Every structure is written in C-alpha cells, then in structure tokens.
Structure 1
Amino acid sequence: METLKIDLENCYGINKLVHEFKFSESKAQLIYAPNGVMKSSLTQTFEDIVLAKQSQDRIFKNRPNKREITVDGAELNPEDIFVIQRMKEASFKEATTILVNKALREKYNELVEKTTDAKAAFIKLIQPNFGIKDNLIETEINMLFRKDFFVVLEELKNDVREQDKPHHENIIYNEVFNEKVLKFLSSKSFNTKIVEYISIYDSLVNKNDSLFMKGTFNHYNADIVSKSLKENKFFAAKHKIKIKDQEIDNIADLEALIESEREKVLKDPELKGKFDEIDKALNGNLELRKFRAYVEDNQEILAELADLDGFRKKLILNYFVLHKVDFDHLLKINTDTEVERKKIIDEASSEHEEWKNVIRVFKERFSVPFEIMIGNQHEVILYDKPASLVFRYSDAFDHVDMGGPELQVSLSTGEQRVFYILDIIFQFEVKRKTGNKQLVIVDDIADSFDYRNKYAIIQYLKDISEEDNFFMIVLTHNFDFYRTFKSRLGDKINYQGNWMALKGAGETKLTVGEKRDVFPQLRLKYSECDLSFIACIPFVRNLVEFTAGDDHLSYLTLTSLLHMKPARTNPAVASTADLTKGEIHDLFSSIFGLIPPCTDRDKKVLDLIYEKAAAIIGDLENFNFTDLKLKLVLSLAIRIKAEEYMLSKIANAQFLNNIHKKMTGKILKQFRIENPNASADLIIMDSVNLMTAENIHVNSFMYEPLMDLSIEHLNKLYVDVFSLI
C-alpha cells in the first residue's frame, strides 16, 4: 500500500476533493481540518465503502456523486478499511458491555432493543389493567412469580392459550393490591371473616341442587359458556342444551338460569350475614372505599382472597388472556431473537481470551479512576453467557462493581470512553491477525479525553502506524492534538504526511501543514518580516504578562497596539497612533535577548498593520491561510479600526480619559448607550467583539480559535468595518 488516490464530489458536504496520499513516504498521514470543513465527511465516505453503501451529499441529495478511491491503481477492498469514528454521545445500554467484536455487538444490541421495544409496547398495552406506572409492572411480575419476565410468560403461555375468555377483566390490579388494601386484607380479624365466608360459600356451591361445583364449574365458567354460545349463534341455529333436567333453547333463559343460581348462592342469609360483616369492616375505612366498590360489584372475589398471591397471579394471567394476540407476538419476538443472541454469545465465548489481552493492553497504557475487568468469567464457561465489562470503583473503605448483566442504566461518560478505547484496541487485534494490509481512518479519536489519555492515544496510534500492515489517515479539528501527534511521529510525517484542509467556494483542498512551531519562527523573523513583527505583538505581550505582570510598561505599551488608546489615558504610554516600529522592535529585542537591525524605525505600527491587512485582502487568492500570521494581522486591523470608529462616536470625555483594561467590551457598551439607533453599526461591532476578542490574545499553548476562523468571515468583517470610516 504505497499510494492512495481519492477523487470525490458531493460526499456529505465535500463539493470536490482530489488528493494523493503517499504512504511510501509516510505511513501515517495527518490532516488538520477545522470544524465543518471535511473531517467527518471524509470519514463517512470511507465508512460507506465498508458498508457497501452509496455516498451522497448531506444537504443536496440529488446532486450527482463521485467516489473514486484507489490504492496503487486498484479499487480499495472494503475488508481492508478500518474506520474509527469519533466517540459519539450515545446511550450505552446493558447489552453494549458484552465483550464481542463491534459488528456482532451492534447486532446483539439490535436484537436486545427489538425485544425490549416489544416488551415495552406490551406492558403499555396492559398498563390500564394494572393501574400502575409502566416501569413498575415488570418488577411486580418478577417479584410475584420470583422469575424473570420472559420466563414467566413462557410458563403461562399454555394457560393463556387454553383460556378462551378472561375472568375479572374489569378489576384493576392496583385497586385490589395496593399497600393500604393489602395491609387490611392481611390483618388477622379480616382473615377470620374471609375464612368463615369461604367456608359457607363453598358449602352452598357444592349443594346437590346447585348448578356449580367448587374447583370444577363455577359462575365464571358458566358466564364463559353463555358468552360463547351467544357469540357463536348457537341458539339461532335451533340448538338446545339441557342443564339439570332443564331444557333451554334461547340465550335469555340460559342467562336467567345462571343469574338465578348465582343469586341463590350470594343471597343466602348466612353468607349474606358474613358478607355484611366484611362490608362493614371495609366501609369503616375511607382508604378502602374503592376496593369496597369492587367487592360490592364482584362479591365472588371474596372467595379468592384467602390466597392473595394466587389471586394476583390469576389476575395477571387474565390480563394476558385479554391481550392474547399481543402476548403471543411478544413471545415469538423473544424466541426468535434468543436464537440469534445465542449465536452471538457463542462467538463471544471464542473471543474471550482476546478480550483479556485487550484489557491488559489498556491497563498498561491508559489511566482511569476505576479498575476494569471481565466480571462474569465463570458464567462465560458454565452458563454460555457473554463476557461483560465491569467497572470497579474503590475508596479507602470499600469497593463497588458496576457493569455486566446487572447494569440497568446508561454508562457514565468516563465508562463510555473506556469501552470506546477498548473496542478500538480489540479491532486492531482482530485486524492484526488477518495479516492483511489495512487502511485505518481515524476521526478525532482523542476528542473529549483528558491530556494524559490523549497522549496515551497518540502513542498507541504511533506504535500501530509503525507496524508493517497498518497505514493511517488521522483527522482532527483539535490543533493541540494535531501539533502533538505531528511532534510524536517525527520528521517523516512532518514533511511527507502533514496536511491542512482548506474549504474554498467549490472545492476542498489539502495544503501542506505547519512544519515548525510558529512561535519560535516569530522570534527569529520579527526583524525581517513585517507579518511576523505584527504577529509578535500579542505573543510578546503574553510573555510580559506571565513574567512581569499586567502593570509593566511593556505590557501596557503592547496593549495599546491591541486596542485603540488615546495618549491621555496613560501619560507614560504613547497613543496607539503614535507608536513606532523602532520602539516596538527594541521592546521585542529586549524580551528575546536579540539585537537584529531594524528598518524603517519611524514607521507608525498602526499604519503598518492597516497596510498589511489591506495587502492581504487585496490578494486573497495568493495567500496561504493556514498561516497563523495572516489571520492575526487581519484580526488586529479589524478590531483596532472598529474601536477607532466607536471612539469617534463617543462624546463622554470622562469615559475617554479612563480607558485602561477590558477595552472592547467597555467601548461597545458606551457606544451602544450614546448611539442607540445605530442598529446596523451595532450589528457589525457585535460581530467584531465575537469574532476577534479571544483570537488576538494568542499564546503558544492555545491558538485553535484563530486557526478555525475562516478567511471568508474575516474578509467580510474587514470590508464591513473599514467601510464605516
């Protein structure tokens, strides 16, 4: 794998990109791409090849697409591409912690999600019957039956299918089995009354002349028979039935007989006396009024209350019968997905040793505030369960393990990062075993990681890139990562694999990136290059601030070149318009410890800034805007000119004589007070304040905002501001 050629059009925001990467010169190719330029778009395009998917523009989907990517003149094999997407904010569910390769884990997650969604839909369907929140129903069923939800469903499926009609379908579970009712039903006095009631009830049902018989044919069974005959038009077909020597040929007579038999039992004086005792006890408690109403309309349920758990199970069974079609559908989904999950678990078992090695590698390289381990190794061997990641948190007194099958909430951000890196290490281990040459596309892998782990990631990628079969394109929008990665990989990548992405009107181009750290170059060239001279102003100002403080004369002098200051604000410091190149050159020399010659010493620095900014704007096409100096000069010119304009519109002499620190914001506030109707000007000034404030306070540690600032934005702002004066 020596040369990778890409020719793209209309791929997720990339209008056009043509480039050639020479891995023969550098096995790692580094691209710095500000947000919105091409980074994620290029990554997604390679991902499309892996997935055998057609690429397209993200917005203008109907535009013709071109995607020609070749390696050494041949079409790129999807199996030889490894795409590492940036870590996205996602919900890491329990299934995600199983230790298996990425493709199988995604499939496993899909199966779990399919089952979970179907279960949630079924629970939502039966929720009105339970009268409690959806998320409590599964827990209630599991606790009552002392088994997993789907195990309960499997055990009840035959009963559900055999029962044609539900019993007690009008009884809401929570109205009978809430905390207050259960406390009452469990009391000794009520229990005595129930036992007496049931004894009388059973003797009445079992009388020889009764239509019913305990445990064989009760009034529920009679109601079901009646409803079934009615629905199936049994009597309309001229059929008859014979019950206890009584011939019946119509539904009305059958219903009347059943009701008569029911009344004979329930209105028996002795039974009614016991019922009245129960009713009185219920009526004396305001919290049980709803339950009493149920009992009054469904007196038969009193016979069920001797076995509360048994009655609860009967109610749940009947709710399942009421929704039999959906019950069967849920069971089928669970059964079907279980077969597929088992296959993945078998595959996971075969990868168990590889994951142990991955965790070892992680522990050697990375630092996290918890210990990571495979938590259920015995279950992997004994019960064919998938290995799962466990996070152990410890303090001086105890430790807590989180993860594995018991994890029911999303992983923390830190745990997600660990799993993200572990997965990448595993994929590299798998790719390494194939022995094939692999093109690795890395998209902001270190984004959101702390510095220690960011450097560990860089070192890991460096080590991988030095292996014979791995060829790498690393994309990042983080300038600090870009500089560090380039530094760690040495001169080869710096000169043969170092790129910066620039987005033009119709094409994105990769230009040669920064070869040397800009700040040492400023120190060496401030005397011979006007752009370097101007760029030194904020840099040296920061050095003075860090070493001598913000009250030092040199600091105040340089501040007058970052803000428009009249001389009267500080007699010891010349006004912005009066400072000369010679004065500032001497100041730089004293800080840098150098004595280079200075040309044009009497040149006003402000004039020099404006002249160089105008030259840049006048010849945009021929400037390389990956050069920090150009954007810095434009930003300085824009802000000073904006302040010059606002000061010209401010009449408050006291304000003008007391401008010392945090200038731009204060000037803008006073300008707004004195010019409330200058709405168009205020919009421009707000843009200046937003776009150039932090960019000018540049230092050697962080100047990414200035690198990310597009030349188009600066050009527009320059034109808007300079057109005001």
Structure 2
Amino acid sequence: MENLKVEILNCYGINKLVHDFDFSTNSAYVIYAPNGVMKSSFANVFDDYSKDRISTDLVYKTRVSQRKITAATGEEINKESVFVIRPYEKEFKTNRVSNLLVNQDLKTKYVDLHEKINDAKASLMKELKKVTKINKVEEEILSVFATQNSNIIEIIHNLENLVLGENLVEKFSNVSYKIVFDQKVIQFLATGDFKYQIRKYIEKYNDLIKNSMFLRKEFNHYHADTVQQNLANNGFFKAEHTININMNGSKQEIGSPAELEKLINEEKLKILSDTELQKIFEDIDKKISNAQLREFRDYLFENQELLVELENIHNLKRSVWISYFQKCSVLFLNLTKEYKESQDELKRIIEQANREKTEWENVIDIFNRRFHVPYTLKMSNKADSILKDEAPSIEYIFNDRTGLSESISEDLLLSVLSQGETRALYLLNIIFELECRRIQNLKTLLVVDDIADSFDYKNKYAIIEYLKELSDSDNFNIIILTHNFDFYRTVQDRINTNKFTHSCMAVKKVDSIDLINPGYKYISNPFADWKRYLNTNKAKLIASISFARNIAEHIGDDNNFNVLTSMLHWKNNSLQLRLRDIENSYKEIFKDMSALEIDDSDKLVFDLIFEVAEEIYAEQGEVGLNLENKVVLSIATRINAERYMIQRISNPTFVSEIRSNQTGKLFGKFKTDFPSEIEQIKILEKVNLMTPENIHLNSFMFEPILDLTEHHLKDLYASVNALIYTEELGSQYVAASGEEKPA
C-alpha cells in the first residue's frame, strides 16, 4: 500500500478531513494533535473500518457521515490489513497467537498418534452407547472413575487390570444404566428409610444363602451363573467332562449345561420366593410407588437379585461399568494398546517441543528485554501450546529490589502494578498481534493512538524503538497519533520518517481539519528558527524576548534579565524601552549575534508588541502552528491585564514592592479589593492561568502553548481589551512621550 487517500466527513466530531498519505518512500507518519482536535476520532474511524462498522457523528446524529479509505487505484483497502492500537484496552487478546507456535512436523506426528488413539476411543464410546443406551457415556465414566486432572483415556488405561480380572460381564452387563442410575432414583436410594429396608433385605438374603443346598455368601447365584456360562461357552460339557456339586455334604454329578442351569435356577427361585424375603421386598416396593420412579420399580420387580447391590450405589456403578468394558473387551483392549504403544513416541515429541524456540517465546523475549517493569514473563506450557490447541500460558515472575522472585497470578499481578506497568502488560498482547502479522507476511496499516500515554521515559523510548523496527519492515505502514509534543518530537527524530512530508500537526479550522507540516527544524528547535528571523519577522523578534530572558536568568545576567522582564510586564520603566534595548540584550545573551541590527531601533517595544498583536488578532482562521503568534498574544494580553489591575488597584506602594509573580499578586489583590466584580475576576483569572506557561518558554517544554489554540488566545486578548475600554482608560497604554496610543 504505497498510497492511501483518507476522506472523513462528520465522523466522531471530525467535520471534514481529507489527506493523502504517501508511503512510497517512507513507511511512517507521525501526527501531533492537541487534545480534542481529532486524534481519537481519527483512530475510531479506522477501527470501525477494520471491523466493518459504520462511522457516525455521535453528537450531531442528523449529519450525513462519510468515510473513504482507498488506495491509489481508488479501491478500498483490505479491512483485515488495518490494525488500530489504542492507548489501552484491558480485554484485548490477539486471536492469531497459534501462528507463532506451530512446528508443523512435530505437530503432524503428535496429531497422527492422537488420531489413532481417538479413533480407538470413538469406536469404544460408540459401542458403549449401544450397550448402556445413554448418550453421555464419557461424562458418566469420568464421574465414576475420575481423579484430579485425569482424562478418559488415562482412566481406561488404569482400569485395564480390573477389566482383565474378575469377570463381571454376566453379573452386571445387562443392568439398565439409564433406569437404575437415573438421578431421581439415586436421590431416592439415599433416603434413610429406604437404606434401612435394603439392609433388612440383604441380612435375610444372606441367611437364606447359608441354608441353601449349595449356594453360599461367597458363591451366590451370580457366581453360579458365571461358572455355568463359562463352562458352556468354553465347551466343557461338549468334551464330556462333568462337575460335582456339594449338596449339603453329598456329591451330585452334573454332566450337561442344561442340568446345571436347572439346578441353579431352582435354588435361586427357592431363595427369592422365601415368604419373609418377599415381605421385605413388598415393603420396599410400596416405598417406590411414586409415579416418577415407576420404571425403576417395574425393573426392580423383574430383577430382585439387584436389591442386594443397592446398599452401595457407587460400588455398583463401578462394577456395572467394568462389566460393560468386559462386554466390549475387544474395543477396550484395542484402545489401551494404542495408548501404550504411543506413549514413548509422544514423550519424545513433547521433550523436543519443550526444546523448541518458538516465535511466541521471541515475543516474550522482546517484552522482557525492552520494557522496564518489576516482573518478567515466562512461557509455562510450551509443549501443549505447540502440539495441542491450547492457548499459550504465561507465568508472571514478580521481582523485588532485594532480588527475590515469586511466581504470581495475573489477577494478583495487576492489583499491585501502577497504571503504566499495567499498560505495559497490555503491550505484550499488541506485540503478539504484530509479530503474528509479520510471520504471516500480512501487509498492515497500523494506526497507533497515543500508545505511550502514561508510560515513564524508559518505556516510552522502548515503544519508539519497537515502532522504528516495525517501520523498517516491509510489512508495515504506520500512522502514529499523539497529543504529547515531546513524544511527537522524539518519534520525528528517531523513526525513519521524512521530516518535511511525514511529520504533521492537526490544525482545526472552522469547518475542517488540516494535517500540515510545520517544518522539522521549527519543531525540533523553534528558538533557532526564531533567531534567524529577528530582523525580518517582528512576531519572532517579540516571542524571543521570553526565551532570552530565561537564558539571562540561568546565566546570572541580572541586568538583561531585568530589562527583558520590563518588556513582559507593566513596570515603571516599560514605556521607555525601545527596540535598541532588545538589540543590545540579544547581542549580549546570544554570543553568535554580535552583528545583529534591528530596523527602526528607536521604536518603543510596547508599540511594536501591540501593533503585531493587532495584526495577529485581525488574521482570519488558523494558519498553522505559529508558536510565535501565540507568545505575542499572550504577552500583549498579560501587559494589558496588568495595566488594568494596577490602575484599578491604585496603590503604587503595593505595586512597587512586587519582586516576582507580578500578575498573580496583582490578581490576588484585585480579588480582595473588588470581590463583587465577578465577570472581571473570571477574565483576569483566565489571564493568570493561560498566559504564564506561554511566556515562560524553554526548549524542553512548550506543550501548553501548542494545546491552546490561537482562537482561544484571541478571545482572551479581546476580553481584556474590553475591560480597558469599559473602565474608560481610553487606550491600551500611554507611551513615554505622553502620546496616547490608540487601540
């Protein structure tokens, strides 16, 4: 995307913005936008575009909104190629992270092994559904056999010895799981009265077993049925073998399966038809006459022998499942075989995955290396995130100043971090997203909305260096938005932008917003620019008074400091100072300007200040950055405000004793003397709040004057002038000659 044309109309407070971004030679733009001009609104429009949402004006809803983001061909750019980075989004998580993890060869081997296991598992589960006639087979097995962190395949593997051991298939494989273990039945069986009846039934049953011809507690009819079935299935009688049954001390020879089955059934019937046992069963039957348990009641009537197992429902469940597994033994053993055969290979794959250096870890390294926070990050589930579909997990290692380290949860970490440190953690997810796009070779337009806001300087520079690396990549074009002027200047100097075409400032006009280039050198060092034009640009000549005064103060030049101070305040000697006095001070302060000659050197300084202020006031609309214009308006406004307050206070002794902060002290006195003049106090308070930062300018910080529009300063200038004329002072000031200078 070499060229991008942006057209925005009535979107989020932007009345109109049209701009062409040319990325053919430089991949990054940086835009300074004072608060409230367009920064967040611009980002909102691009965020809407990337997410295919409509952009509107939230306040003036009836206005027609329009948004066009097109390439040089006139076609809309790919929405997926746009990514907006907000100052902070707590919930932001990239959905591309798996692209940083894949070792395709390892993953393919891992998946192939698990597919064999899962195919064997699926076959077993399908057969178990037929046997049990329930759908949630896996959930039920887990509920009966699961221990902490166990999974279904490990459970089945651990049950192999039991399934190969005691044969329970004949005893329980035909139990109706759906009926016997229905939730309502389970709740009913847990009632105290029913449990008492069950115990009575079991005690009587065991008494009858003791008196049986050949059955015993240790060899009840279930065991007898199992023996009979096994002998028949294994051709015992077909081989003309016989067995001897101990019938109350006498041996009875049995030579056929039918004969053995008849003997067992007769003995079982004798026990279950016992009058007293039947009476207990009838008592139990009466207790389950509830309509919701009718199916269980009918089932129990046909399977009375099950009653002796109901005292311990959990053990019964385990036994029933073992019998089901035995019934499906071929599929069960095939699954355990696939599982066991795969373990050595899976272990080798997992060990290799843990040794792999992933792009995901590279992101963590970027974060740990660049950002200065009291914690470090570590990837804690590398193998699973590479081989499975699990999201990567981060371990947070908190480090205190003594060198102690502690692994803590993300929630706890966030509760102890500062705002800047918390936002640094947000950057981790942003880096993941960007590195994913880089790996995928996805051409991306980044719109970066004050990402460094609330960070300390170390981390701000870390962000700038990372943005620089992205701008050097062929995959990224970047539009960096900020309301922090120091960040703007630093980005302009450090990122490979064209300082004369790709560094912009947002200027708000009456019906539109323009992105203008203020001039690289002008922004990086405006004072050097002013010094070059002291004799040709009167606004820059006046604005430099504040800068020269600051230098005189710092170097201990009291004489020039006092002279220049009298040009910025209403002092006793202010009306006598002329341009030659500025020239002399500048020559002494600026050692490289010994040849400076200012035209019309006999002109009064205040004359020039107010002439230039009036010219600036008369100019229509915003005409660029113009720091010098704002300084001139601030100086003129403050001089007029001081003149007004001095004349109203009318206390020469009080004024003569002021040695510093003259505007503030005059304002304090004015409020004391004229507390009822609310409107005048409001205007003078604005002067006291708005002008000092603009006049006391230095090379490190002049953001307040940038955020304050020329329009606001013009309004304030006019308001102070109105005070003067309201009080019939008759002029802006009176020159030393006594000649009244018109407004």
CA contact (8 A) 1:391 1:403 kept: no
The secondary structure found in structure 2 opposite 1:74 is coil
Which residue pairs with 1:423 in the alignment? 429
User: Is the Cα contact below 8 Å between 2:420 and 2:456 reproduced in 1?
Assistant: no
Moved more, 517-526 or 367-376: 367-376
Say whether 1:700 aligns with 2:699: yes
**Following the alignment from structure 1 to structure 2, what is the Cα–Cα distance between the partners of residues 507 and 523?**
33
String of CA shifts for 1:357-409, please: whole Å, max 9, x gaps: 11222334333343332245477579956412413313335222233587685
Q: CA RMSD in A?
A: 3.8
Instruction: Name structure 2 gaps, 5 residues minimum.
Output: 100-146, 150-180, 199-281, 287-353, 725-743
SS at match of 2:649: coil
Q: Residue 532 of structure 2: which of 521, 524, 540 is its match?
A: 524
Aligned twin of 1:714: 713
- The answer as to 2:370 corresponding to 1:365 is yes
CA-CA distance at 1:356 after TM superposition:
0.3
SS at match of 1:58: coil
> Quick one: distance in 1 between partners of 2:434 and 2:689?
43
Q: Deviations over 1:228-279 (max 9, x none)?
A: xxxxxxxxxxxxxxx99xx9xxxxxxxxxxxxxxxxxxxxxxxxxxxxxxxx
Residues of 1 paired with 2:384 and 2:475: CA distance? Answer: 36
Q: 1:647 to 1:407 in 2, by over 3 A?
A: closer
CA contact (8 A) 1:392 1:402 kept: yes
Superposition deviation, residue 704 in structure 1 = 0.6
Answer yes or no: is the 8 Å Cα contact 1:30–1:498 preserved in 2: yes
**Distance in 2 (alpha carbons) for counterparts of 1:103 and 1:381:** 8
Question: Which residue identity is paired with 1:717?
Answer: L
Aligned to 1:20: 20
Is the contact between residue 29 and residue 472 of structure 1 (CA under 8 Å) also seen in structure 2?
yes
Amino acid at match of 1:637: A
Q: Deviations over 1:684-711 (max 9, x none)?
A: 1111112112222111000011011012
Contact 2:569 2:642 in 1 (8 A): yes
Query: Could you list the per-position Cα deviations for residues 405-444 of structure 1 after superposition, in whole angstroms to 9, with x for gaps in the alignment?
Result: 8768585434423222222222221111232422111111
Report the equivalent of 1:505: 510
Q: 1:2 to 1:101 in 2, by over 3 A?
A: closer
Q: Paired residue for 1:534?
A: 542
1:404-415 paired onto structure 2 within 5 Å = 404=410, 409=415, 412-415=418-421
Change in Cα spacing, 1:618 to 1:352, as seen in structure 2 (3 Å) is same
Instruction: Provide the TM-score with structure 2 as the length reference.
Output: 0.61
Partner of 1:543: 551
Counterpart of 1:84 in structure 2 is 85
Retained in 2: the 8 A contact 1:534–1:609? yes
Q: Distance in 2 between matches of 1:147 and 1:544?
A: 76
2:3 corresponds to = 3
- Check 1:695–1:408 CA distance in 2 against 1; reply closer, same or farther (3 A cut): closer
Deviations 1:616-663 (A, max 9, x none): 111234x62401111111111111111111111012333122111011
The 5 A counterparts of 1:47-196 are 47-72=47-72, 73-87=74-88, 90=90, 101=96, 163=187
* Residue from 476, 495, 499 that aligns with 1:494: 499
Taking the aligned partners of 2:551 and 2:186, their CA distance within structure 1 comes to 85
For residues 57 and 610 of structure 1, what CA distance do their matches in structure 2 show?
41
CA contact (8 A) 2:33 2:505 kept: yes
Q: Which residue of the other structure, out of 456, 459, 473, is the alignment partner of 1:453?
A: 459
1:154-196 residue CA offsets vs partner (Å, 9 max, x unmatched): xxx98799659x99xxxxxxxxxxxxxxxxxxxxxxxxxxxxx
**Contact 1:81 1:438 (C-alpha < 8 Å) held by counterparts:** yes
Secondary structure at the aligned position of 2:574 is classed as coil
Q: Which amino acid aligns with 1:558?
A: L
Matches of 1:672 and 1:440, distance apart in 2: 52
Between the aligned partners of 2:185 and 2:618, the Cα distance in structure 1 is 83
CA distance in 1, matches of 2:690, 2:39: 23
Q: Alpha-carbon deviations, 1:109-149, whole Å to 9, x = none? A: xxxxxxxxxxxxxxxxxxxxxxxxxxxxxxxxxxxxx999x
Distance in 2, Cα, partners of 1:534 & 1:147: 79
Q: Does structure 2 retain, via aligned residues, the 8 Å contact 1:99–1:389?
A: no
Task: Tell me the distance in 1 between the aligned counterparts of 2:717 and 2:384.
Answer: 67
Match for 2:710: what amino acid?
I
Q: Which amino acid counterpart does residue 564 of structure 2 have in structure 1?
A: L
CA distance in 2, matches of 1:454, 1:405: 25
Tell me which amino acid in the other structure corresponds to 1:605. Answer: V
Q: What whole-Å deviation, never above 9, does each CA across 1:284-336 have from its counterpart, x for those lacking one?
A: xxxxxxxxxxxxxxxxxxxxxxxxxxxxxxxxxxxxxxxxxxxxxxxxxxxxx
Distance (Å, rounded) in 1 between the aligned partners of 2:598 and 2:656: 33
1:653 is aligned to 2:667: no
Q: Aligned pairs, how many?
A: 496
Q: Which residue of structure 1 lines up, in the alignment, with residue 686 of structure 2?
A: 687
2: CA distance between counterparts of 1:538 and 1:598?
Answer: 17
Matched residues in 2 for 1:382 and 1:685: separation? Answer: 70
CA distance in 2, matches of 1:562, 1:724: 20
- 2:568 aligned counterpart, secondary structure: coil
Q: Distance in 1 between matches of 2:392 and 2:474?
A: 33
Greater shift, 42-51 or 557-566, is seen at 557-566
3-state secondary structure, aligned to 1:4: strand
Matches within 5 A, 1:320-469: 353-377=358-382, 384=390, 386-396=392-402, 398-404=404-410, 409=415, 412-469=418-475
Number of the residue aligned with 2:298 = none
> Does the 8 Å contact 1:30/1:493 carry over to 2?
no
Judging changes above 3 Å, is the alpha-carbon distance between structure 1 residues 365 and 408 closer, same or farther for their aligned structure 2 residues?
Answer: closer
Amino acid at match of 1:499: C
Whole-angstrom CA distance in 1 between matches of 2:10 and 2:185: 56
Among all aligned residue pairs of Structure 1 and Structure 2, give the percentage whose two residues are the same amino acid: 39
AA aligned to 1:521 is D
Instruction: Kindly provide the amino acid, as one letter, of the partner of residue 474 in structure 1.
Output: I
Listed as ranges, the gaps of 5+ residues in structure 1 are 105-145, 149-156, 168-204, 206-211, 218-242, 248-348, 567-574
Q: Aligned pair 1:34/2:34, yes or no?
A: yes
The aligned counterpart of 1:129 is none
Equivalent residue of 1:54, what SS? coil
> Is the alpha carbon distance of 1:158 and 1:562 closer, same or farther for their aligned partners in structure 2, counting shifts above 3 Å?
farther
| One-letter amino acid matched to 2:428 | L
Report what 1:260 is aligned to.
none
Partner residue of 1:724? Answer: 723
DSSP 3-state at the match of 1:561? helix
Deviation at 1:8, TM superposition (A): 1.0
Normalised by the size of structure 1, how large is the TM-score? 0.62
Q: Show the counterpart of 2:673.
A: 674
Larger gyration radius, structure 1 or structure 2: 2
Among candidates 487, 490, 509, match of residue 481 of structure 1: 487
**Partner amino acid, structure 1, of 2:623:** N
Q: Against the structure 1 CA distance between its residues 213 and 448, is the aligned structure 2 distance closer, same or farther, given a 3 Å change threshold?
A: closer
Q: Could you say which residue in structure 2 is the equivalent of 1:45?
A: 45
Q: Determine helix, strand or coil for the equivalent of 1:638.
A: helix
**Aligned AA for 2:28?**
A
